[in-house]
Amino acid sequence: MSRIGKMPIHLPKGVEVKISDDNVLTVKGPLGELTQPVNPIIKMHLEDNTLTFERPSDSKEHKAQHGLYRALAANMVKGVSEGFKTVQEVIGVGYKVQANGNVMEMDLGYSHKIFFQLAPEIKVETVTEKGKNPIITMTCCDKQILGLAAAKIRSLRKPEPYKGKGIRFAGEEIRKKAGKAAAK
């Protein structure tokens, strides 16, 4: 059995799960509602606030899908009950970030400002303190949308290995390279 696929998902208080006839999983909670179509070969069972997944055989494809859909469902349950959060740090002289609703305005050292439109499900907050790097905090109930938005923002100015300037996740370690040695 798949180690991930065989683990049951315990539903917290306030989270409702509905399994439709066409194998679409719907999870509703205090932070929102998420849906995910599931391959018909994977069977879902809901009993006593516990969601379990079952596969028909031990073929490689069935094992992979068993773990995949269980992990997606677990992320959906956690998202609608607790939510997900990413924190990014903008490092560089003159780099600025400002959020206006779901549009982020960024100055990242280019000749122009970058306007980045976020999905309506994502709530963004930017903090700029004097003498500190600007911080971007995003929260959402959908882990996939949040991760995609965070990766796209990071790709606008990846951290470079010499000075470490760019957008990085909080706590991310960047291996710095030594610059050119001074010629004598």
pTM (2 d.p.): 0.87
Q: What is the mean pLDDT of the chain?
A: 91
Helix or strand or coil: residue 51? strand
For each of the domains in the chain, give its residue range(s) and CATH number, in order of start: 9-81 (3.90.930.12), 84-169 (3.90.930.12)
- Residues contacting 158, CB < 8 A, separation 6+: 166, 167
- Residues contacting 86, CB < 8 A, separation 6+: 137, 138, 146, 147, 150, 169
Contact 107, 113 (CB under 8 A): yes
- Residues contacting 142, CB < 8 A, separation 6+: 32, 34, 79, 84, 121
Q: Bridge partners of 184?
A: none
> Looking at residue 1, what is its pLDDT?
46
| pLDDT per position as a tens digit, 17-51 | 999 989 999 999 999 999 999 999 999 999 999 99
Helix or strand or coil: residue 108? coil
Query: E-assigned strands of the chain?
Result: 9-10, 16-19, 24-29, 32-37, 43-47, 50-54, 84-91, 96-100, 103-107, 114-117, 123-127, 135-140, 166-169
* Sign of the torsion angle spanned by Cα atoms 143, 149, 155, 158: negative
| pLDDT per position as a tens digit, 120-155 | 999 999 999 888 999 999 999 999 999 999 999 999
> Looking at residue 178, what is its pLDDT?
86
Contact 34, 80 (CB under 8 A): yes
Residue type for 152, please?
K
